Amino acid sequence: METILSISNLTKKYGSLTAVNNLSFTIQKGNVYGILGPNGSGKSTTLGITLNVVNETSGSFNWFNGQTSTHLALKKVGAIIERPNFYPYMSAYKNLKLVCKIKDISEDKIDEKLELVGLLDRKNSKFKTFSLGMKQRLAIASALLNDPEILILDEPTNGLDPQGIHQIRALIKDIASQGTTILLASHLLDEVEKVCSHVVVLRKGHKLYEGPVDQMISSNGFFELKSDDNQALLNYLASHPNIKDTKVLDGLVTAFLEAPMSASAFNKELIHNGIVLSHLVLRKESLEEQFLQLTDNLNDAN
Amino acid sequence: MLRLLNIEFIKLWNNRSSKVLILAYFILLTSIALIAAIKFDIGPIQFHLAEQGIFDFPYIWHFNTYVAGTLKFFLAIVIVSMMANEYSNKTIKQNLIDGLSKKEFIASKFITVSAFALISTLFVFIITLILGLSFSDNTEAYHVFSDTEYLLAFFVKLVGFFSICLFLGILVKRSAFALGFLFVWYVIEKIAYGLIRWEISATQDNWENITRFFPLESMSNLIKEPATRLGAAKELAKQVGEEFNFDYAVHWYEIVIVLAWTSLFIYWSYKLLKKRDL
């Protein structure tokens, strides 16, 4: 698989504060990555370093296996970090024209990308007249001008209204479905869960996890169960070898699995033992639950 | 290089205030020619500035480059704000993310200010030539093209001054404060100049050996004030028993000093940009 970005032992200190601490991960072509972490966990700093605007304290990174210098590599990257930054007095079209000049690419695609983000009819309006959602969409259009090898988005829905958030998400999904590698930094878990296949979880500059979303915690998922006779159900579960733990909340029994088991096999087994269910769902932990579990583990360890 | 110039041109030309200031500057530059029209005609006193010899070759090169040099503040505003605006709009960050290297960023600014200086010099050259050819008593090629080193001095002076502006724009990041800083710097230099002159000239006469190395002083030194060189002014001085005997020439070491400052300011700008996190 082709490596797009690899980061090794990256550290950034702001005085006594360590924003990024000995961080290493790699980005492979074709995946959609999420960098997850609460505010101040070092997401933007990490992206800033790889994008040539923040100087690392130690460690290194390289783009495309280190074949080109960073600024040449960035011409093949599309990135927006934090707020969309454009020249306020210039029209959308002219701003994009300037980006084309910087990236050394032809200006043919400007209209196409403006169309993609739904701003074609506003192409001659000045940037300063745009709403935040429109600015963010213009930034995405600008990042896509060179049909990038990787699209880097830092908190793309930050500060947007629900409609704006929905538009941006639909756009990201659309771009991801075309096979573009995406790196999405966010503290919004459902956002990452909806579009990402892989995650890097950061906390206080440390990496907690790197890998596919569904393997974040070693879990076989859990059953949500309801029965007319919950006590009998609980007694049965307590002696079941595949169940490691149970929880009851508002009459809903949650049974965590020790080993994988299908819902139908489990149902059959219960009926065989005289327990009839009124509700049965096999679920995997949501990203939020996984994330909390991961960070909780760390808190416990401390 | 053309790409960098083009990038900067798009940024500047679409900014209305920059555009107005640049146009105003070049219109004012052209209007030097209007000095020719200064004419008093009050009964017995008839005074026509153009006939006082200020448009005589080769003196006109000195006079025009000096007058044109005072207009550089118009462009200083444009240059300081073109740098500082990149910070306040955070577009410098986006430029770097889009793949402009820090070196290219500084280069694009420096090439632009050099282009400003070059165009100004060409303007002054053409205007001076036209004015001189219409008013000078002496239009032999030998006289017309002597003293043209003032044009070189004018170019170097502008590039040097604009480099300070660029550096201050990067250093201070706010255009108004950067211009204020430039003024404060000027005042400090003048005070230091006065002190050094006062302290040293009492014992020996070489105080200029120190002051000529001041950045702003070195730039104004390139083209010294031309008024005392004028025949009329010399006449006047003679009447009060003084004689002006200044050195008006452009010296090679003065050019070297300004070029050294220019490279330092550009180098410092680059270092500053490289060192800072955006």
* Nearest chain A alpha carbon to B87: A85
**Could you tell me the maximum CA-CA distance found in chain A, to the nearest angstrom?**
74
What percentage of chain A carries pLDDT values higher than 70?
Answer: 96
Start-to-end C-alpha separation, chain B: 25
Q: Is residue A276 classed as helix, strand or coil in its secondary structure?
A: coil
Note the pLDDT tens digit of each residue in A55-74: 999 999 999 988 888 888 99
Identity of the highest mean pLDDT range in A199-208, B40-49, B141-150: A199-208
What average pLDDT score do residues B250-275 get?
93
Reply yes or no: is the peptide bond before residue B58 cis, omega within 30 of 0.
yes
Whether the full predicted model's pTM is greater than 0.95, yes or no, is no
Q: In what order do the strands lie in the sheet with A58-63?
A: A17-28, A3-14, A58-63
Q: Which amino acid is at B19?
A: K
How many CB atoms lie under 10 A from the CB of residue A205? 23
Closest CB to A71 among B90, B101, B278: B101
CATH of A3-215 given 3.40.50.300, 3.90.1570.10, 2.40.30.130, 3.40.50.620? 3.40.50.300
Q: What angle do the packed helices B59-69 and B149-172 form, to 10 degrees?
A: 10
Identify all chain B residues contacting A83, using CB atoms and an 8 Å cutoff. Answer: 90
Query: What one-character-per-residue DSSP string does A14-63 give?
Result: ETTEEEEEEEEEEEETT-EEEEE--TTSSHHHHHHHHTTSS--SEEEEEE
Q: What is the reported pLDDT for B154? A: 94
Tell me the C-alpha distance between B110 and B123, whole Å: 20
Query: Is A20 an 8 Å CB contact of chain B?
Result: no
Note the pLDDT tens digit of each residue in A256-271: 888 888 888 888 888 8
Identify all chain B residues contacting A104, using CB atoms and an 8 Å cutoff. Answer: 3, 99
Q: What is the reported pLDDT for B204? A: 64
Closest CB to B100 among A71, A88, A89: A71
Note the pLDDT tens digit of each residue in B199-248: 776 666 677 777 888 889 888 888 888 877 776 666 677 777 766 667 77
What percentage of chain B carries pLDDT values higher than 70?
Answer: 89
Residues A85, B89: C-beta atoms closer than 8 Å: yes
Please report which confidence band the pLDDT of residue B50 belongs to, taking 50, 70 and 90 as the band edges.
low
Would you kindly state where each structural domain of chain A is located, as residue ranges?
Answer: 3-215, 222-283
What average pLDDT score do residues B65-71 get?
89
Identify whether the C-beta of residue B99 lies closer than 8 Å to the C-beta of residue A102: yes
Residue A218 above 70 pLDDT? Answer: no
Query: Is A17 an 8 Å CB contact of chain B?
Result: no
- Regarding an ipTM greater than 0.90, the answer is no
Tally of domains within chain B = 1
Identify whether the C-beta of residue A30 lies closer than 8 Å to the C-beta of residue A1: yes
Q: In what order do the strands lie in the sheet with A252-257?
A: A243-249, A252-257, A222-227, A277-283
Give the B window 258-277 contacts with A, CB below 8 Å.
274-275, 277
pLDDT higher at B51 or B65? B65
Residues B98, A102: C-beta atoms closer than 8 Å: yes
Please report which confidence band the pLDDT of residue A297 belongs to, taking 50, 70 and 90 as the band edges.
low
Q: List the single best residue of A12, A57, A81, A85 to mutate versus B (max B Cβ within 10 A).
A: A85
* DSSP β-bridge partners for residue A281: A224
Query: Is A83 an 8 Å CB contact of chain B?
Result: yes
Q: Which of B13-22, B49-58, B155-164 has the lowest mean pLDDT?
A: B49-58
Q: List the single best residue of B6, B94, B105 to mutate versus A (max A Cβ within 10 A).
A: B94
Query: Is A49 an 8 Å CB contact of chain B?
Result: no
**Could you tell me the maximum CA-CA distance found in chain B, to the nearest angstrom?**
71
How many CB atoms lie under 10 A from the CB of residue A90? 21
Domain that holds residue B214: 2-275
Closest CB to B96 among A52, A90, A103: A52
Alpha helices in chain B (DSSP H): 2-13, 16-30, 59-69, 72-88, 91-97, 102-135, 141-144, 149-172, 175-201, 208-211, 215-222, 231-239, 252-275
Residue A301 above 70 pLDDT? Answer: no
Tell me the C-alpha distance between A297 and A258, whole Å: 18
Q: List the single best residue of A102, A107, A110, A150 to mutate versus B (max B Cβ within 10 A).
A: A102
The set of residues, in sequence order, having a beta carbon less than 8 Å from that of A69 and lying 6+ positions away, is B101
Q: Which residues of A137-169 are buried (b: 16+ CB within 10 A; e: fewer)?
A: bbbbbbbbbbebbbbbbbbbbeebeeebbebbb
CATH of A222-283 given 3.40.47.10, 3.30.70.100, 3.40.640.10, 3.40.50.1820? 3.30.70.100
Token pair, residue A131, equals 């709403």
Chain mean position to CA A105: 29
Query: Is A128 an 8 Å CB contact of chain B?
Result: no
Token pair, residue A9, equals 């032992």
